[in-house]
Amino acid sequence: MSQLTGQPILILKEGSSRTRGRDAQGANIAAAKAVANAVRTTLGPKGMDKMLVDTIGDVVITNDGVTILKEMDIEHPAAKMMVEVAKTQDEEVGDGTTTAVVIGGELLKQAEDLLEQDVHPTVIAHGYRMAAEKAVQFLNDMAISIKAKDTDMLVKIADTAMTGKGAEAAKDKLTNLVVKAVIMVADEDGTVDIDNIKMEKKVGGSTEDTEIIEGMIVDKERVHPAMPKKVEKAKILLLNASIEFKKTEVDAEINITSPDQLQAFLDEEERMIKAIVDKVIKSGANVVFCQKGIDDIAQHYLAKSGIMAARRVKKSDMEKLARATGASVVSSIDAITPDELGKAGLVEERKVSGEAMIFIEKCVNPKAVSIIVRGGTEHVVDEIERALDDALNVVAVALEDKKFVAGGGAPEIEVSLKLREYAASVGGRAQLAIEAFASAMEIIPRTLAENAGLDPIDMLVELRAAHEKGKKHVGINVFSGKTADMLKEGVVEPLRVKTQAVTSASEAATMILRIDDVIAASKMSKESAPMPPGGMGGMGGMGDMGGEF
């Protein structure tokens, strides 16, 4: 048969691009590695910070992996997958985002070497999956149990999460504050909903001024200046209904033909509002938090009765107030009863950094608490909030799972050694992939050493020697520059931080490895599309167009 000639067949739209085979794999791996390298220098207590400036000039200064990756305007699809790894880690555990991304990048780097040796991507992916399962198993075997009453160990877990963050100056105070908050909101079965810990940021003072309120802070002020600023032995009504006269559901008109009728209408309106206020007073409440509006007349009557009230309170704050005070959120004025009220020892309006806020304190066994985050500048306050958020999450995870492992690169070195032993028992080409996975795990202690200005090779040799002797909790003390038992040093992390980092990093790496064809659609958007002949044709033309439809 003679060679076919003629016009080439175009399958893709004009402007689309396609990358295949090794080129596609190489580009994807390079993009993922670039993301890992971007956050790698932030790892550990001696990690550095990044300054990120967005398109409108807002500045974020942080060494929190997920914050850096969210703020970076990443375009490459494979790089975006690495950002997803960080987001998943953040949602599941709240810490270890940098660890997960760095491991993911190193897994791909190791895979690149295997691809050059003509090991098939699916073989590497299969080996990585086997290694990840075993790594999680080894981590579980290493884990140490913790009891909910072991507050000293929980403080150490919070301390490890905060070390290297901007909150280091007031670390002792903040770690105790974090553990106290988590234990307060923990349910009896050990589960912790971090949403019940509200953080209010206020610029001013210093980090040391950060405090916990055993109750709630509502960022609102009294609706009327004649209302009391301070109420002791408060009986709190949470109302999801407006203290206003009811408007009709249907459109209706009232025709008033004389001044007498107008006065009668206004008097009746006032009487209706007074009846609503009387129901509130009758319940015995002396503090009212209303999710909706409070009429001016109602404010006057409430103030005369010595009741403190705040309006337009957020739904999330109402739910936390209910947990903190034991009140129920009432959705109808007619349903108000003394049984629905909550209690607090003190409700007071105070000014923080020049802004009025209502403090609800001295609650009996509050199941929702607040933390006021203070700092010298906005950037400091933001970074302290991120550090507190990480610490709250890891303490909550440790309480839920009741398991922790040593930090400082100790678990990664132990897993690496165990995986090498396991690889020898597997044999075949999968053995190469498992050994590559073992090498990739060493990136964490290596990076910790590099960021601390230590010789990574010397440190790895020392760590391996110690772990081969059975000292499985030995890691790098970056402050002394030597290897040490991390449990004795108090460097500990929840088990889930490590297991989640290993599983999400290996899953992302295997997914990227299996891609051998990247088909990218044309980037031509509507805005950049060529103009029709004659341009827009002016506004008149728009009208003409309308007639054609």
Task: Measure the CA–CA gap between 79 and 157, rounded to whole angstroms.
Answer: 31
Burial class (CB within 10 angstroms; exposed 0-12, middle 13-18, buried 19+) of 545: exposed
Instruction: Determine the residue type at 520.
Output: A
Which two tokens mark 27?
A: 């580009």
- Look up 97 and say whether it is catalytic: yes
17-20 vs 342-352, strand pairing mode: unpaired
User: What are the tens digits of pLDDT across the range 523-541?
Assistant: 654 444 444 444 444 444 4
Task: Measure the CA–CA gap between 295 and 302, rounded to whole angstroms.
Answer: 10
- Look up 390 and say whether it is catalytic: yes
- Look up 172 and say whether it is catalytic: no
Which two tokens mark 374?
A: 């203070």
Among 42, 62, 64, 499, the active-site one is 64
Among 42, 62, 67, 98, the active-site one is 98
Task: Measure the CA–CA gap between 286 and 348, rounded to whole angstroms.
Answer: 12
User: What are the tens digits of pLDDT across the range 40-64?
Assistant: 898 888 888 888 888 888 888 888 8
- Look up 278 and say whether it is catalytic: no
CA atoms within 13 A on the CB side of 48: 12
Read off the DSSP letter of residue 165. Answer: S
Q: What is the pLDDT of residue 134?
A: 92
Among 390, 499, 503, 510, the active-site one is 390
SS (H, E, C) 109-146: HHHHHHHHCCCCHHHHHHHHHHHHHHHHHHHHHHCEEC
Q: How many CB atoms lie within 10 A of CB 244?
A: 18
pTM: 0.79
Domains, the chain: 17-145+406-518 (1.10.560.10), 148-214+366-401 (3.30.260.10), 216-365 (3.50.7.10)
Instruction: Answer whether residue 502 shows pLDDT above 90.
Output: yes
Which two tokens mark 287?
A: 């503090």
Taking alpha carbons only, the member of 460, 511, 473 closest to residue 132 is 511
Can you point out the beta strands (E) in 274-326?
287-290, 308-310
User: 39-53, 267-281, 288-302: which has the minimum mean pLDDT?
Assistant: 267-281
Greatest mean pLDDT among 96-100, 276-280, 363-367: 96-100
Q: What is the pLDDT of residue 53?
A: 87
Instruction: Answer whether residue 547 shows pLDDT above 50.
Output: no
Task: Measure the CA–CA gap between 100 and 171, rounded to whole angstroms.
Answer: 25
